[in-house]
């Protein structure tokens, strides 16, 4: 029955998003609500950017509808489990609403990054308020249990960090939605294995919304007004939902779910590409004395484009790389490999890839000048 509820949530989310997105496209075209291309952006035509407006409502309706049906048919939910879930979901909805409205305002009229930063911090603080915070690193760097005065600020930092990482990786068609879809699919499976069906339902609700969006974003035709971007509304709500699920999975709470070895490393392995990229970009900007929050063309997808790959080829390469990181890390840590050593290996591989890509970019530039 739990699997049936998860599948039903996914299908309803797909159906709702499939109905909403074409209507958002129509409104965007009639009201001329476009993402205008500039020197930093990859696209060369004005494209509607309000696709993310569909994410939160479609996922919320699908989740709440199926959950209500689940309760009506007499599905049993442990009282302790339900008591945690109710508070977490109520505050999650509050945070999502604030970010959702902030994203809409940013997509329509623009919001200064300082204001978005403050709102993200406030939304991040709602997690510890609901007693949802990172309280265990499961042996990463030799650290296990974390006290509240460290774990709660760390949770807020992770929420802001991951939310911005998803936002910043959204530079070519299908990349942010593809990476988020992979992370959500893995999280849904991990929660099912752990016996936490309610959180799997939330993961697949957001995953279902991304399916029709991915089609319009990657395969839609700009000439026929069938192409759309997610905008900040989509990336902020995606990042916040992924943070909520990731922190819930890695929280050590024996009252709700059994202990999972290396849970922190396992769940955040699904986010290595956006997380590593934002760290590298910030370090490069700091080294060159550039504003840390101003957009540029130094992200990983820009490097692949500079090598000569098309946007779709760059997307496929990065999705394959994310799948490789996630699958290998989860499998190797399950086989007993130390999570700290695996993280160090991931960093070395990441640095090596960038050095190789830098070499290819320089080689291509030399050939172009000859």
Predicted confidence at residue 79, as pLDDT, reads 75
| Domain annotation covers residue 304 | no
Q: Where is 144: in which H helix or E strand?
A: strand 143-145
Judged on CB neighbours under 10 Å (0-12, 13-18, 19+), 85 is buried
Calpha distance 11→214 (Å, rounded) = 15
Check pLDDT > 70 for residue 292: no
Out of 24-28, 154-158, 294-298, 346-350, least confident range: 294-298
| Domain annotation covers residue 364 | no
Q: How many structural domains are present in the chain?
A: 1
223-243 pLDDT tens trace: 777 889 998 999 999 999 999
Percent of the chain with pLDDT over 70: 94
Check pLDDT > 90 for residue 341: yes
Check pLDDT > 60 for residue 40: no
Check pLDDT > 80 for residue 222: no
| Domain annotation covers residue 354 | no
Calpha distance 156→219 (Å, rounded) = 36
| Domain annotation covers residue 344 | no
Predicted confidence at residue 81, as pLDDT, reads 72
| Domain annotation covers residue 9 | yes
- Helices 55-72 & 79-108, crossing angle to 10 degrees? 160
184-217 pLDDT tens trace: 999 999 999 998 899 999 999 999 999 999 999 9
Predicted confidence at residue 192, as pLDDT, reads 93
Partners of residue 47 on adjacent β-strands: 35
pTM for this prediction: 0.94
| Domain annotation covers residue 342 | no
CB within 8 Å of 111: residues ≥ 6 apart: 102, 105, 232
- Whether 218 and 174 have beta carbons less than 8 Å apart is answered as yes
Mean pLDDT of the chain: 90
Look up the domain containing 272 and give its range.
Answer: 2-298
| Domain annotation covers residue 253 | yes
Calpha distance 97→237 (Å, rounded) = 9
CB within 8 Å of 210: residues ≥ 6 apart: 17, 55, 177, 180, 181, 184, 238
Predicted confidence at residue 47, as pLDDT, reads 83
| Domain annotation covers residue 350 | no
250-263 pLDDT tens trace: 999 888 888 888 99
């Amino acid at each position: 029955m739990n699997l049936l509820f998860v599948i039903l949530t996914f299908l309803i989310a797909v159906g709702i998003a499939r109905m909403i997105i074409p209507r958002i496209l129509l409104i965007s075209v009639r009201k001329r609500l476009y993402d205008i291309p500039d020197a930093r952006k990859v696209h060369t035509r004005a494209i509607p950017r309000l696709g993310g407006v569909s994410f939160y409502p479609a996922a919320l309706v699908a989740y709440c509808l199926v959950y209500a049906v689940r309760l009506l048919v007499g599905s049993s939910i442990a009282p302790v489990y339900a008591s945690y879930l109710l508070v977490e979901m109520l505050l999650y909805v509050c945070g999502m609403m604030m970010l959702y409205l902030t994203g809409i305002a940013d997509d329509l009229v623009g919001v200064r990054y300082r204001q978005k930063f403050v709102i993200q911090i406030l939304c991040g603080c709602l997690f510890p308020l609901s007693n949802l915070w990172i309280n265990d690193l499961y042996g990463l760097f030799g650290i296990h249990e974390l006290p509240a005065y460290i774990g709660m600020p760390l949770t807020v930092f992770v929420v802001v960090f991951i939310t911005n990482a998803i936002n910043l990786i959204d530079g070519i068609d299908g990349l942010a939605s593809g990476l988020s879809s992979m992370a959500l699919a893995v999280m849904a499976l991990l929660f099912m294995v752990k016996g936490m069906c309610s959180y799997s339902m939330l993961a697949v609700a957001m995953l279902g919304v991304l399916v029709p969006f991915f089609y319009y974003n990657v395969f839609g035709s700009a000439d026929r007004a069938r192409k759309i971007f997610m905008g900040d509304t989509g990336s902020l709500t995606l990042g916040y939902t992924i943070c909520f699920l990731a922190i819930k999975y890695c929280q050590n709470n024996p009252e709700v779910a059994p202990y999972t070895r290396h849970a922190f490393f396992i769940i955040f392995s699904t986010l290595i590409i956006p997380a590593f990229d934002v760290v590298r970009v910030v370090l490069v900007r700091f080294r060159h004395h550039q504003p840390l929050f101003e957009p540029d063309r130094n992200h990983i997808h820009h490097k692949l484009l500079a090598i000569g790959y098309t946007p779709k080829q760059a997307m496929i390469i990065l999705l394959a790389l994310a799948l490789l990181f996630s699958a290998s890390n989860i499998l190797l840590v399950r086989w007993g490999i130390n999570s700290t050593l695996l993280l160090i290996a991931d960093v070395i591989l990441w640095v090596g890839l960038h050095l190789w890509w830098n070499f290819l970019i320089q080689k291509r530039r030399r050939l172009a000048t000859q």
